[in-house]
Amino acid sequence: MNNINAPQLYLDDVVLNPEIHIIVCTGSGGVGKTTTAAAIALRAAEHGRRVCVLTIDPARRLAQALGIEELDNTPRKVEGIQGSGTLDAMMLDMKRTFDEVVEGHSDPERAQQILNNPFYQSLSSSFAGTQEYMAMEKLGQLHSQAQADGIWDLIVVDTPPSRSALDFLDAPARLGSFLDGKFIRILSAPARGAGRGIGKIAAMGFGFFTSALSKILGSQVLNDVGAFVTAIDSTFGGFRERADATYALLKDTHTSFIVIAAPEADAIREASFFVERLNSDQMPLAGLVLNRVTEVNLPEVTREQALAAAQELAAGDAASKFTASLLELHAQRVSQVERQQEIAHRFTAAHPGIRVTSVRALSQDVHDLDGLREIGDLLSSPR
């Protein structure tokens, strides 16, 4: 899409910049975000950088493209890198990361008590925002490891496939507020107060309250919540502090956000929404990658010209009819290009200062390193 009215995003200025240590790829689901993150990571590695790519994509396409049988919560070396750098890849295991937080911030006995708690097991597996929070937690862990031993100089993050572009940034605060909130503290007050001498009046008041809640939630749920909060009082004291530290890391000049979208109305609306949020939070935004863009081989032949020529040839011999069908196909692709350009122009008109690059749609899915290299070349080429 060569006629986008926007400043050019030269992605190599970001990917190969030694001052950039974190690249966050974000956007709505189904726009090629995971593939783009992998291609960026591979290109950086093959140009000499030491890279770790973290994906939160449940489809596990990244492992297949990188030639790894399966990704898990531990960074694994990618073989076949053509260059002086290195590449490790991993996929976030939400529950395992949560367990690591427990194990890393408590003694073995208390850790096991928390891990066995039914309420914790539910929270760590399915609580809204947990995946997004653990993505932030893991990013903080990787960054600390990179600083400590120098194993990586670039971390590429493929953000969760959330419907809302706000989830990745807001989840830490939501989860921290939940754990620190008044409601969960009230639920746990009887268990926590038993050893602290809560007055008789307070105890009676909590008794009436928890009696009513028991009828709604069940007494076992309340017991599990109370035991959980009692156990985490000291263990999770750093929840909010770590979230704040990672949030500050994302705002640092050594971080760069890349928004990825397809030339489709819904994806562009989501991209526009996220760009506005990143700007309002003063996050370092590199620009927009417009992915899977349709191109035509003969752009000088208009849709009308192609259809007119096809109509003249349609009544001829077999060769003429075949040519007519090709002309009709060209006309369809021209219409698609025009529709995509109109959608892209809506974004650039609303965000005139945002840098943009585009990647043409490939004829087949990316499934190996060569495919990722091709994407990397397209990302770094002038549109």
The full set of domain ranges for the chain reads 12-168+240-297+344-380, 303-338
Cβ–Cβ contacts within 10 Å for residue 280, how many?
A: 8
pLDDT at 1: 57
pLDDT at position 283 over 70: yes
Answer for the pair 356, 9: CB distance below 8 angstroms, yes or no: yes
Q: Provide the β-strand partners of residue 158.
A: 25, 55
pLDDT at 196: 46
Average pLDDT over residues 124-141: 74
pLDDT at 52: 96
Helix (H, G, I), strand (E, B) or coil at 167: helix
pLDDT tier at 176, thresholds 50, 70, 90? low
pLDDT at 229: 64
Amino acid at position 205, single letter: G
pLDDT tier at 183, thresholds 50, 70, 90? very low
For residue 367, the 8-state DSSP code is -
pLDDT at 41: 96
Answer for the pair 30, 162: CB distance below 8 angstroms, yes or no: no
Largest CA-CA distance found in the chain, in angstroms, rounded = 99
CA distances from 193 to 61, 211, 357 (A): 49, 16, 59
pLDDT at 3: 63
CA distances from 322 to 59, 240, 305, 311, 313 (A): 40, 66, 17, 12, 9
pLDDT at position 58 over 60: no
pLDDT at 207: 45
Average pLDDT over residues 53-80: 80
Answer for the pair 84, 50: CB distance below 8 angstroms, yes or no: no
Answer for the pair 65, 367: CB distance below 8 angstroms, yes or no: yes
262: nearest Cα among 244, 288, 280 = 288
pLDDT at position 335 over 60: yes
64-68, 165-169, 175-179, range with the lowest pLDDT: 175-179
Give the burial string for 210-247 (b: 16+ CB within 10 Å, else e). beebeeeeeeebbbbbbbbbbbbeebbeebbebbeebb
Distance in angstroms (rounded) separating the CA atoms of residues 258 and 36: 10
Task: Catalogue the E-assigned strands of the chain.
Answer: 22-26, 50-55, 76-77, 86-91, 154-158, 255-261, 285-293, 356-360
pLDDT at 227: 63
Give the residue with greater pLDDT, 286 vs 178: 286
Q: Provide the β-strand partners of residue 90.
A: 54
pLDDT tier at 162, thresholds 50, 70, 90? low
pLDDT at 205: 40
pLDDT tier at 192, thresholds 50, 70, 90? very low
pLDDT at position 212 over 50: no
Burial class of residue 366 (count of CB atoms within 10 Å of its CB; 0-12, 13-18, 19+): buried
pLDDT at 199: 39
Tokens of 309: 């020529």
The per-residue pLDDT for range 339-349, each reduced to its tens digit, is: 999 999 999 99
Q: Which fold is adopted by the domain 12-168+240-297+344-380?
A: Rossmann fold (3.40.50)
pLDDT tier at 222, thresholds 50, 70, 90? low
Answer for the pair 271, 288: CB distance below 8 angstroms, yes or no: yes
Average pLDDT over residues 70-81: 88
pLDDT at 268: 92
pLDDT at position 165 over 70: no
Burial class of residue 52 (count of CB atoms within 10 Å of its CB; 0-12, 13-18, 19+): buried
pLDDT at position 190 over 90: no
Average pLDDT over residues 139-157: 91
pLDDT tier at 57, thresholds 50, 70, 90? low
Answer for the pair 48, 13: CB distance below 8 angstroms, yes or no: no
pLDDT tier at 241, thresholds 50, 70, 90? confident
Q: What is the pTM of this model?
A: 0.82
Give the residue with greater pLDDT, 109 vs 269: 269
pLDDT at position 203 over 60: no
pLDDT at 264: 92
Distance in angstroms (rounded) separating the CA atoms of residues 191 and 228: 10
pLDDT tier at 135, thresholds 50, 70, 90? confident
Answer for the pair 42, 87: CB distance below 8 angstroms, yes or no: yes
Mean pLDDT of the chain: 80
As a residue count, the chain comes to 383
